[in-house]
Chains A and B, each alone.
Chain A
Amino acid sequence: MKRSLYRILIALHPSRFRERFGDEMMCVFDESSANRGAKLFADGLFSLARQWLVRSGLWKLAAGAAVSALLLCAWGFAFTQGTHTSLEWELQVLAGNPAYHRASDLLDENEFEREAAQAVAILADIRKADEAKQAGAERQNQRREKQPSPRSNSTESSPNKG
């Protein structure tokens, strides 16, 4: 019975290992099974796992499948999350920003309107002052153009005198 089980255990090994060492493992079992039956079975099971998972390169396949599954899950999660509008996301980001909370705490609507009206009035005053200054300068220029300069008259008369 034990022998048959051990034979099955060997038969489950990858063919490369089984063909090379299967008979020898069976031979060792026959020679030593009397005093170490349980240990031999445990060793056989470890060997089976090692040969399939480590030596046969199956772990590479398993690791590749696991990474692919993880990537697929991540992509699926990102896709379902991406259906929300970007505006919603931006609002969430804004809501999470402490500067946004500070600004909204400091300014209420009425206060903001009053401040804005004052700013507009100041801008209008500045514009008016600018326009008045420009108009004054233009008037001065026009006046200068209308009055003939005394120096130009003297220069014109001097050659006649000579």
Chain B
Amino acid sequence: MRDDLKALLPLPPAALHILLALAAEDRHGYGIMQEVARQSRGQYEIGPGTLYDNLEKLMRRGLVNDAPRRSASEDPRRRYYRLTSFGRRVLSADLERLRAVLKEAKAALPALESRRSS
């Protein structure tokens, strides 16, 4: 299982944002798109084509699955998606990787700046 997890890393940006959007709660497609835009402060937006292409891949790999509809009054075309426990582990591993990258970048930044100033 650990090898499966490693094979999925690093996550592509769209997949990372979708998993992040589903981390807090189950969402439908449009909800995911809105959450991705909110998380990135509008800097990263995905369209339905990119979203569903990535969702299909994530579902096939067992990171996301279907979730039950919240209320019967909603648009019947809407479907909800949920992060699986495996998806949560993959997301955690990728965030850990990004944290290590950020740490390295922070350590390297003063050296770079001092080199620039000299």
Contact = CB atoms under 8 A, between A and B. Distances in A.
Q: Do A and B come from one complex?
A: yes
Interface of A: 17, 20-21, 23-29, 31-32, 36, 39-40, 42-44, 46-48, 50-51, 55
B48 A40 contact: yes
Interface stretch (B4-12, B49-57, B93-101, B102-110): B49-57
Interface of B: 28-30, 33, 45-53, 55-56, 75, 77-79
Nearest to B75: A27
User: Mostly helix, strand, loop or mixed at chain A's interface?
Assistant: helix
Given A27-B29, A27-B78, A28-B30, A44 B52 contact: no
8 contacts: A21-B56, A27-B29, A28-B33, A28-B51, A44-B47, A46-B49, A50-B49, A55-B53
Contacts, number: 64
A3 B74 CA distance: 21
Given A23-B77, A27-B78, A39 B47 contact: yes
A21 B29 CA distance: 10
A12 B109 CA distance: 49
A46 B49 CA distance: 7
B48 A44 contact: yes
Nearest to A46: B49
Given A17-B56, A32-B33, A39-B45, A24 B50 contact: no
Contacts of B47: 36, 39-40, 42-44, 46-47
User: Mostly helix, strand, loop or mixed at chain B's interface?
Assistant: helix
Nearest to A41: B47
Contacts of A50: 49, 53
A37 B45 CA distance: 14
Contacts of A32: 30, 33
B89 to A, nearest CB: 26
Nearest to B46: A43
Nearest to A51: B53
Given A26-B77, A32-B30, A47 B45 contact: no
B52 A17 contact: yes
A47 B78 contact: no
A20 B14 CA distance: 20
Contacts of A36: 47
A40 B46 CA distance: 9
A81 B108 CA distance: 60
Contacts of B49: 25, 43-44, 46-48, 50
Nearest to A31: B30
A70 B115 CA distance: 52
